[in-house]
Structure 1
């Protein structure tokens, strides 16, 4: 096997665009120092508090269980409210905004500013090319072949707020009639439509960024299996086989869900009704926490690998094998559990 020699970089996003980092300033905590920190998933997929982190100083991480000692919380006063809150957050599988909307509500964690649970404007702009796939059939239904310039989903909503083409107004009224709403309510429908398909665009983008890192890691495992010294170690070989099988299975599972969503979306536009739209919306939302959890786990694992071994020849085979056995395999069964616990895929009826 010939492997292209190239350097790969870890996947990094600003906090609210990240799968694996949660800025704690959006959580109602009592301790000021914690509100300036963030919760992250480490290489073993354990949730830890990162008090500081940058390229030069590294990452200052604290286990949740060590917080009472660090902040002097008196156990005789009972469990500190921040400890209760952070323990709940530590149990979450992903910190992407779409999973958080569901998981924070289920955990009973209030968020005063719901606007915080949105992707950044920069990230939304980056996803425009993904959103085009979903906005195209919508625009064609109303505007047909009219030559329109669309740079973001906001541009789409603006078109429908003030359509200046008579033909478009007629089609817009037909669409409103199909949905059982007034023509003035169509922009609100479009915002719901935009948000649910922005979530799919976000997850697709995460998977696309992850794909070359997964390819690199699986290629590295192939090299390790064929290393003369390492192929004498049956425990390592079994671990490599298990990891490759699991990662391929997880990647295929997410890809299959996207294909199901595509079929359901096409079906929705073939016969648009309010009921069909809400079925598609519910179908996609039902898998947010599954897709988010799997992508979060795989991204954290691949980032840990790429940071240590950015090129195929980085580190050497022994160091790579040791890192796989000590860090990479830890928590992989948890990612598999997230995938296995997902509801059965159902097509739109």
Structure 2
């Protein structure tokens, strides 16, 4: 995460109150960023800000971010000092913001569920969809989930696929009589009408796109955690550090928790893979609802765990881009930035056992 800069953001002019603020794809696709422009807020200056998770997994308001000045972050409780002339509208907006601070991840799939749970609307439903660029990146992952579906309709024929939408289009508009007949058989198994197959495919695609998104995040994070642990445990070879039982215990606890968390969440994805394969051995409307429920019931906990790990690994790479750092410097970083919040991440992962 970028270093925090002093907050000196000017307030927006009153005539900008109706402005709808756009936000970039990187923010939309991130685990730890919630662009406030997607919400119907009344305080103008807040619409260009974001809620983000810092390395301690606290929710703060990022008022601005710049390579030169860093990240301008402020606690939600202190927003009154930043927008003194909008006290009335800020009081209304703080009702929503206080609810948002308790959400563990800001990925679009967690937000869909959590915003509905706490009764917060968005300006545009597209705000809760992955960007086209991200969907394109996930095509390789989606092929694993859609290959059995394509085989059901097109048999062993090889099809050119460059995006998730290509898969859905091929299935919604089969270009051969045999494929159409297979699609009819599929509709019979699913107990849906043929003209309802496009809705099923959209539903199927979105469920497995969510799994592809989280799998992609996991595949990026786990190797980073492994690299971090190797770096973090090296200070134990220092004679001075090895003599300090408290430090050795702290390092061991961090190693144990990170290993436990990554092992557990990886196991959850293996269970999803097995469940989705079983679905194609017994295709029915009920089996699809069961698979969908299993995946969607894990969105919030998976998002929370991955978000927590992602922000911590991002800070480590930012502070130590080339690795290195003396034993004492590493120990202090681990104690002050990595250890805080690990119990929270582990608690989220442990809670997932209740929905397995």
* TM superposition score normalised by structure 2: 0.90
Counterpart in the other structure of 1:339: 349
Is 1:62 the counterpart of 2:70? The answer is: no
CA contact (8 A) 1:221 1:240 kept: yes
CA contact (8 A) 1:17 1:119 kept: yes
Is 1:198 the counterpart of 2:209? The answer is: yes
Counterpart in the other structure of 2:7: none
CA separation of 1:345/1:252 partners in 2, compared to 1, >3 Å: closer, same or farther? farther
Between the aligned partners of 2:236 and 2:213, the Cα distance in structure 1 is 35
Is 1:216 the counterpart of 2:216? The answer is: no
Gaps of 5+ in 1: 1-11
Shift of 1:69: 2.3
Counterpart in the other structure of 2:109: 98
Number of positions where the alignment pairs a residue of Structure 1 with one of Structure 2: 333
CA contact (8 A) 2:172 2:201 kept: no
Counterpart in the other structure of 2:55: 43
Counterpart in the other structure of 1:15: 27
Shift of 1:85: 1.3
Deviations 1:189-247, CA, capped at 9 Å, x for gaps: 11111101011111111011112211121001220111222222222211111111111
Is 1:326 the counterpart of 2:336? The answer is: yes
Counterpart in the other structure of 1:316: 326
CA contact (8 A) 1:73 1:80 kept: no
Q: Secondary structure at the match of 2:293?
A: helix
Between the aligned partners of 2:322 and 2:50, the Cα distance in structure 1 is 30
Counterpart in the other structure of 2:291: 280
- Name which structure has the greater RCO, CA cutoff 8 Å, separation 6+: 1
Shift of 1:78: 11
* TM superposition score normalised by structure 1: 0.92
Counterpart in the other structure of 2:13: none
RMSD of equivalent CA atoms: 1.8
Counterpart in the other structure of 1:174: 185
Deviations 1:49-72, CA, capped at 9 Å, x for gaps: 001112221000001111122222
CA separation of 1:146/1:39 partners in 2, compared to 1, >3 Å: closer, same or farther? same
Deviations 1:6-60, CA, capped at 9 Å, x for gaps: xxxxxx9701100001100001111111100111111111100001112221000
Question: More helix per residue: 1 or 2?
Answer: 2
Between the aligned partners of 1:18 and 1:74, the Cα distance in structure 2 is 29
Counterpart in the other structure of 1:6: none
Q: Secondary structure at the match of 1:91?
A: coil
Counterpart in the other structure of 2:140: 129
Matches within 5 A, 1:129-148: 129-148=140-159
Is 1:156 the counterpart of 2:173? The answer is: no
Between the aligned partners of 2:260 and 2:246, the Cα distance in structure 1 is 21
Shift of 1:120: 0.4
Shift of 1:305: 0.9
Between the aligned partners of 1:345 and 1:103, the Cα distance in structure 2 is 16
Shift of 1:73: 6.8
Between the aligned partners of 1:26 and 1:18, the Cα distance in structure 2 is 14
CA contact (8 A) 2:31 2:303 kept: yes
Counterpart in the other structure of 2:40: 28
